[in-house]
Every structure is written in C-alpha cells, then in structure tokens.
Structure 1
Amino acid sequence: MASTNGQEWRKTTADVNYLVSTATALLDYDFIDMAFRTEDMYWAKPLPRDQLTTLLANSTTFGLYRVLPDAPAPKSADSPSSPRTPSPTLENRPTDELEQIGIARVITDRVTTTYLTDVYILPDYRTHGLGKWLIQCCNERAFLVTTPGVGKDFYTRELGFWDVREEEERLVCMTRRFFKMD
C-alpha cells in the first residue's frame, strides 16, 4: 500500500512499472535486513530491528519497487526518464501494490551535502538500468564511497562521479587512521 509522504518517481521499462519513493511507510524492513546480509553489501551488517529503525529514521532511504500488478503509470507532466522531477503531490492517487527490489540510503542535511550509501538491487533486476535510475533519483550533491574496481568504473562511466584525488587542488578527503588508504 502506497503512502502519501515523501517524494516519488515512476518509470516503465519493458512494460514493467517501477517506483522510487522516499516514503518511509513503504520500506520493507525484512527486505532491507536481507540486503544487509548479502555479500553484495559487504560493508553492511544486519542490525537488530530497533537499531535498523533508528538508522532508517535518521537518513533518507530511496526504496525501489516493482509495481504489482503491472498497471500503467498515471499520466502526468513528469517524465519517467526525468529522475529528479518528483510528483508534485502524492495525495489522491491510486494505491499500488508494491514489491521492494532495491534501496539507496542517503545521509543528508537536505541542503548542501548528501552521502550516498547502502545501494542494493536484487540481482534479477540489475540489467534493466534501474540502478542508474535509482541513483539519479538521489540528490546530485552526493558524496560516494565505493570499491576501487568495478564500483569506481561503474559510477564514473554511468553517473559521472570522479575520484576525489582528481580534485586535489580544490578538495581533500580525510579520515582517521582507522581506514588504511593507499
């Protein structure tokens, strides 16, 4: 059941309708717990439900959902290919049955800085352009930490992110010695 809080974006790919929403009421905690347990999210660990609730309450989570049954998305001025154009209102719209298939969590001050973390999509949905779309729905001021190989190549190629070391004259990325950097 869809909620009326948050922002949402819709997209249809191969006659399947998808929804990205920041509505917290839509989040499937069992899905998120399962994602945190996968090898694909090696940096994350499963959390007790109360800690997961706190984590999600103190960040913005973009849930990626498959709309069931595959009913046509409502006609509007918002283009499904325009990821940063949220629906102007979520009031008075039909209720959808949703299956959560992905997440992207951000920690943000909602003005200038967004730290993108915990991006996950079920393996069966990874070749449909949904990951790129999901991340495009997130704030474009995102700071991203990823793996040097495949992760870096993907985010550079698909989304235009670049290595902070390329900005050494204007930006320095710092950490405590807990993390060893090459």
Structure 2
Amino acid sequence: MTPRPQEWHLQIATTPYLISTSPAKLDHAFINASFAHKDMYWAKPLPADTLALMLQHSLTLGLYKHRPAEPSSPRTPSPTLEQRDPMGEKWQQIGLARFATDHVSFAYLSDVYIASEHRAAGLGAWLVRCCGEVLDGMPFLRRAMLMASEGVGEAYYGKVLGMEDVHGQDAGLVCMSRRGPGSALGESGH
C-alpha cells in the first residue's frame, strides 16, 4: 500500500512553491527533459511507457512553482480549468527527487534535480530537507542510501540528511553495485 501523498508549501517573495509526493502532479515531459540535462549525467531520457513504470514504482517529490492565471481576452471565452491544466491546478514542475523504496524498510534517493533557472533561491535545500522528512516518517526504515560526489556532495548530504560513507557506519560492511545495460554512466565512475 502506497502512503498518502504529502505536501509542503513555501513562499519566496510573492511566489508560492509546492513540493508534493502525488504521482498525479508529475510532469513526465519535464522529468525526461531533466534526464537529458547535462547536470543529470547519471541519467538519460526514457521511453514514455518505461518512464511511467519507473515513476509508478517510485516515491517522487515533485517541486512546483505557482503559475499565475493567464488573463483571458474578452473576445476569447475563458478556458475551463481542465483545459488550462489537466491536473486542475496552476503549478509548473521545476524540480524533483526520487526514492526507489518499499515504503517501509529501504529507500534509495536518486535523481535530485532543480531546473537551473531556479537554483539560487534555496529550493534545492528545501527539497532535500523534505526528503529527510519522508525518511523520518518511515518508522521501520532499516537503511536509506544515495550516491553522491566526493567532497561537496558527500558533505552536503551528510549535513542535511545525516548520511555517511557506509564504511563509517558498519565495520565489515561492503556496499556493492552493478551497472545495468541502461546505465548512462561514463568511465569516470560517478
């Protein structure tokens, strides 16, 4: 059973922002465009049905910016809410964070991304703190994991989420991985 969607709200100056775990709000075109961005070097766009399957089996925090209503022309009838936005809301997705999880004992954080034009406002830190709240809400969580770049990424996720190198947690524990045929990773080892 998938948990109920959660929401967090933030206002910066006059602009409202929303983080939601509701799968219905996700903009698949935005997510695939994000996967194509050079800053998400570990990902690549997926076929629509494959992306939908991945998202169906993930817990995704979508980050949205409020879109002001467009003024209607007196000569043009006002579109219905559903015509303006199929989700019935005026939100534009500008970021995401995705957990591969069983919603109980394990969570792997991946695909943390904010569109470049929205990065200087502190939205990324807010998104990651919300990820921490999701983890804190899993009382039977055994382990949360992520992969981060050495240095800045490692220090950041250590500070904000309490993550640490697996070697520092459990003596004798080895973290292992295997790249799949769909891996977009290069030879650099990231």
| TM-score relative to the length of structure 1 | 0.74
Deviation at residue 168 of structure 1 after TM alignment = 3.7
Tell me what 1:15 maps to: 14
Tell me what 1:160 maps to: 162
Question: How do residues 42-81 of structure 1 correspond to structure 2 at under 5 angstroms?
Answer: 42-69=41-68
Q: Percent identity?
A: 46
Question: How do residues 95-114 of structure 1 correspond to structure 2 at under 5 angstroms?
Answer: 96-114=89-107
3-state SS, counterpart of residue 40 of structure 1: coil
Deviation at residue 167 of structure 1 after TM alignment = 1.5
Matched to 2:98, the amino acid is R
Could you list the per-position Cα deviations for residues 83-135 of structure 1 after superposition, in whole angstroms to 9, with x for gaps in the alignment? xxxxxxxxxxxx64001000001011111211100110011211222112112
More relative contact order, 1 or 2 (CA 8 Å, 6+ apart): 1
Tell me what 1:174 maps to: 176
Deviation at residue 170 of structure 1 after TM alignment = 7.2
Matched to 2:51, the amino acid is L
Tell me what 2:138 maps to: none
Deviation at residue 177 of structure 1 after TM alignment = 8.7
Deviation at residue 8 of structure 1 after TM alignment = 1.0
List alignment gaps of at least 5 residues for structure 2. 70-87, 136-140, 181-186
**Residues 59 and 99, structure 2, Cα contact 8 Å, conserved in 1:** yes
- Matched residue count: 153
Which is helix-richer, 1 or 2? 2
Tell me what 2:123 maps to: 130
- 2: CA distance, partners of 1:25 / 1:161: 30
Larger radius of gyration: 2
Alpha-carbon RMSD: 2.5
Deviation at residue 163 of structure 1 after TM alignment = 1.7
The verdict on how the C-alpha distance between 1:180 and 1:40 changes in structure 2, with shifts beyond 3 A counting, is closer
